[in-house]
Structure 1
Amino acid sequence: LFCLHFQFLLCDLMFFSCCTVVQSGGVLLGSSTILPCHINTNDRLSQITWQRTIKGKALDDVFLTIQPTIGPSYSNEKDFRFEFIGNFNNKNGTLNFSDVTLNDEGSYTCIFSLFPSGKQSRVSQLVILVPPITNLMDYTPLEGNEEVPLATCTAAASKPKADVRWIKGSLEGKVREELKETQHANGTTTTWSTLLGKPGREMNGQLVKCVISSEAMKEEILETNIQVHCKYL
C-alpha cells in the first residue's frame, strides 16, 4: 500500500543543464522512505548536494553534501534521520530518510556537480500520509417520533481525509447520514458521520456498520447495535 511509484519527467532550467523530476507516492507518518539520487554519465563528479523546500525552512535549504574524500557532511543542524546509502564512485547519492513527520513534506533535490557538463539534479516530492484515529459512539435515545442521533462514527486527524460511510442493513431507508468535516492547521482532517433517525422500537438491537477508508490505512469496519430506550415493553 505504501510502496513508492516513480514517474520521470524531464525539464530544463536556466541554471541546470538538466533536471529530472521524480514524483513519489505517499509515505506513512513515522515510517522510512528512500530518496533516490543516481545519474549515468562519464563526466567527472566533484560533489553531490542535497537541498529541500519544506515548511519552516529557507527556500532550497541545503542540508547535506557528499564529497569523494570526506563523504557526507551535514549543513547547519545535523539531522541523522538522513542516512547516505549510495556510492559516490557510482555517482549515487541516494538517502534513506527515517521517522518522517508532517513538517518533512515537500520537495527534496539532489544536485550533481559534473565536469564538463555542469550541474544536473533529481527532485523527489515527499507526501506524508496520516492514518485516522477511529471511533464509533452510539446513543440510547428515548423512543419517539423526532429525528435524533443514533450513532456517530469518527475518523480523526487523517491525511488525506478519510472516507466514512455506513452499511445500514435492515435500517436502509429508515435512517440518514449527516457528514461534518474540520480541517486542522497541520493539514489533517477530522470527519464525523452521524446516523439520524426516528427511534422506533423496531430499530432496537439492529446492527449497523461504519466503514472507514483512507490512503493511509487498510479499510476498517466498526460495528454497533442501535439502542432505543422503549417507553413500554
Structure 2
Amino acid sequence: MQKGLFSDFRWCLLVSALALVVGCSSTGARLKAYEGAALPDAETATLKAPAAIKVIRVNDEKMSAFLLKDMALQFSLKPGANDVVFQYRTIWAKNDVRRDGDSAVNVVESKPMIASFDAKAGETYTFEFEQAGDVREAQQIAEAFSAEIVNGARTVAIATSADTPAATADSQSAISGQSPGAMDTGDAAASVPDGLSTLEALNLLWKRASREEKEAFLQQAFD
C-alpha cells in the first residue's frame, strides 16, 4: 500500500474511532448477543463488560471485534443458559524511550476463559476480577486470570470463569478479529460496501488491515 494512502487510512480510522467512542458513551447502547429479532429490554438480561474484559463469544454468537479495545460495553442476553467466552485485555502506554518503529503501548491479555450462568430477564450482571495498578501487575493477573460474573448488587457470584477447551482456529480468529482461515490482505483501504454504518465500515476496514498496518495505527493513535 502506498505511504500516502495508508496515512489517509490511519487518519480516517482515528477520526472514526473518536466519533465511535463519543457515540457509544452518549447513547449507552447495548449490543445484541443472541440470534433472532431484537427483544424489548425488559425481556432480556444485561451483561456489563468493563474496559479490561473483551467478550469474544456469547453462546454461538461471535461478538464484533472493535477497533478500540479498551471500551466498556453492555450486552443484551436472552434469559436462560448463557455461555460467555471472554479474555482479560489491557493496554498500557510505554514510558521508556522508544526507537522509531517500536510500539507505543504494551498489550497485556489472558488466554480465553468461559463462564456459564442462567440469566434472568430484567437482571443486570457484571464481571468482578482483580484490578491492576500498572503493567507488571496486569501481566501477573493475566498469567493466572480468573473472574466471576456477579449480579447487579454484587452480592451473589453467579458464575466463575474456567479455561476454555483447547483453542480452535475459530476461537483464535475471534480473538484476532479475522474470519477462520482468513489472511491479511495488505489492502485495508479497499472499497467498503454502500449502506454500512460508520461502526460497521470501521470494523470491516480494521479486519482487512494487515498486522503491520494495525500495529502502525496503534502506535500513531497512542503517540
TM-score tier after normalising by the smaller chain length: under 0.3
Taking structure 1 as the reference length, what is the TM-score of the superposition? 0.22
User: Comparing both structures, which one devotes a greater share of its residues to strand?
Assistant: 1
User: Comparing both structures, which one devotes a greater share of its residues to helix?
Assistant: 2
Taking structure 2 as the reference length, what is the TM-score of the superposition? 0.22
